[in-house]
Amino acid sequence: MAISPRNPFAQFFSFMCFLLPSLAEPTDKITSCLTLHNISNFTTYPNTENDSASYYKLLNFSIQNLRFAEPTVPKPIAIILPGSVEQLINTVFCSREVFLAIRVRCGGHSYEGTSSVAADGAPFVIIDMMNLNRVSVDLETETAWVEGGATLGETYHAIAKASRVHGFPAGSCPTVGAGGHIAGGGFGLLSRKYGLAADNVVDALLVDANGRLLDRQGMGEDVFWAIRGGEAKTIGTTGISATFKGFYLGPRSSALSILDHAFPDLGIIKEDCKEMSWIESIVFFSGLSNGSSVSDLRNRIAVEIARDWGEKYFLNNYDRLVKAKTIIDPSNVFSNQQGIPPVSCLSQPNSTAES
Ligand SMILES: Cc1cc2nc3c(=O)[nH]c(=O)nc-3n(C[C@H](O)[C@H](O)[C@H](O)COP(=O)(O)OP(=O)(O)OC[C@H]3O[C@@H](n4cnc5c(N)ncnc54)[C@H](O)[C@@H]3O)c2cc1C
């Protein structure tokens, strides 16, 4: 029987034919796109119990706030570990091609889970930067290039290997990622003298949503300012404690004389003070167990002690951050629940972007 062009089934069928290509699972699509671009280091949401062990091992490996490792929390379609800048660019391309939200993970220490969940329920991938963790130190210029997936421990270790008299002012926990830490400021033992980690950044390479690789000049000063933590203010915590660890930048004899003068009641004696190099002080304050060495700083699964901290977000830098975000990511490809929206999103009345 011939089908008349007005037959409703014919219309329905042709409509169905149109839809078919998009019925493929996002998992299949991202797999084929990544494979096409020679990226093999990734794992997708498991279909069988056999696959699930390696997926969950990788997913939960660095999640510090265990609330985000709960089974009820949405899981990524894929966890991808680019090993080069080219792979990183292609990973961003594939994620966009398949309309998946992107979460970037470095050390996984986000208290808010911004590297491990998509709070709005959108299907998403985690781009885990842990294989982009090279640190190269140039003593002539007294600078270091640190890839966005290195931990603070890996960074400190590389600096200490190159020199006994150089250091970097950043946080005390070795498994915190340099990527997320410096982007948020980065406060540590040397900060009173040398400022935040972000204050010491002189250049950066950034992959934008269109896959462009931009240095400081290419991204412009507003964006360069924004990726170094803006001017987020850190607030102290208050409390009462009977014992404390102090840190003095200088010889033990000077520390003793200052303490004796300023706090004679404490009765601090020589044996109460340890004199050590910068890198030894990093190990001391790291929360690693007694007897740990400098090389343990690279160990991402070392035992660590979380410490209280507080930070107020953005304050009156908000407008400038929105401006920088609009320059570098106008379509809000790199969005998350704590993220700054670009102007294009702010002007849409039904936008779900949050500030
Ligand atoms: C145990 C513990 C100790 C801490 N100690 C200190 C401290 O001493 N001083 C201090 O200042 N802070 C400290 N913090 C806070 C810590 O600096 C922040 O939580 C920081 O954002 C964690 O960075 P991360 O890369 O480990 O986390 P992630 O969860 O991987 O990342 C945090 C955020 O940064 C983004 N991000 C990470 N890498 C990149 C990248 N390469 N490119 C773009 N975006 C990226 C992620 O998408 C996410 O939104 C500590 C936190 C914990 C849990």
From the list 190, 189, 182, the residue with the least C-alpha distance to 206 is 182
Crossing angle (nearest 10°) for helices 85-97 and 26-36: 150
Atom of ligand 1 nearest to the CA of 110: 29
For atom 4 of ligand 1, which residue has the closest CA? Answer: 173
Cα–Cα dist 105/125, whole Å: 10
Ligand 1 center to 23 CA (angstroms): 37
Check if the beta carbon of residue 151 is closer than 8 Å to that of residue 107. Answer: yes
Ligand 1 center to 183 CA (angstroms): 8
Q: Please work out whether the CB of residue 129 comes within 6 Å of at least one atom of ligand 1.
A: yes
Atom of ligand 1 nearest to the CA of 336: 49
Paired sense of beta strands 101-105 and 206-207, if any? unpaired
What is the full per-residue pLDDT of the chain (355 aa) written as tens digits?
333 434 333 444 444 444 544 456 899 999 999 999 999 999 999 987 777 888 999 999 899 999 999 999 999 999 999 999 999 999 999 999 999 999 999 999 999 898 999 877 889 999 999 999 999 999 988 999 999 999 999 999 999 999 988 999 999 999 999 999 998 899 998 999 999 999 999 999 999 989 899 998 999 999 998 888 743 222 222 233 345 566 788 899 999 999 889 888 778 888 888 898 989 988 888 777 678 888 888 776 543 332 232 234 666 677 777 788 888 888 778 876 667 777 665 554 444 433 3
Measured at the CA of 146, the angle between CA 42 and CA 313, to 5 degrees, comes to: 85
pLDDT at 332 (0 to 100): 79
Cα–Cα dist 30/100, whole Å: 9
> Does pTM top 0.85 for this prediction?
no
pLDDT at 286 (0 to 100): 78
pLDDT at 238 (0 to 100): 29
Atom of ligand 1 nearest to the CA of 186: 11
Question: Which tokens in the block code for residue 186?
Answer: 């980065």
Cα–Cα dist 86/308, whole Å: 38
Cα–Cα dist 169/192, whole Å: 9
Atom of ligand 1 nearest to the CA of 111: 19
Q: Please work out whether the CB of residue 158 comes within 6 Å of at least one atom of ligand 1.
A: no
Q: Please work out whether the CB of residue 132 comes within 6 Å of at least one atom of ligand 1.
A: no
Yes or no: domain 23-128 corresponds to CATH 3.40.50.300: no
pLDDT at 90 (0 to 100): 96
Check if the beta carbon of residue 209 is closer than 8 Å to that of residue 331. Answer: yes
Ligand 1 center to 71 CA (angstroms): 23
Q: Please work out whether the CB of residue 82 comes within 6 Å of at least one atom of ligand 1.
A: no
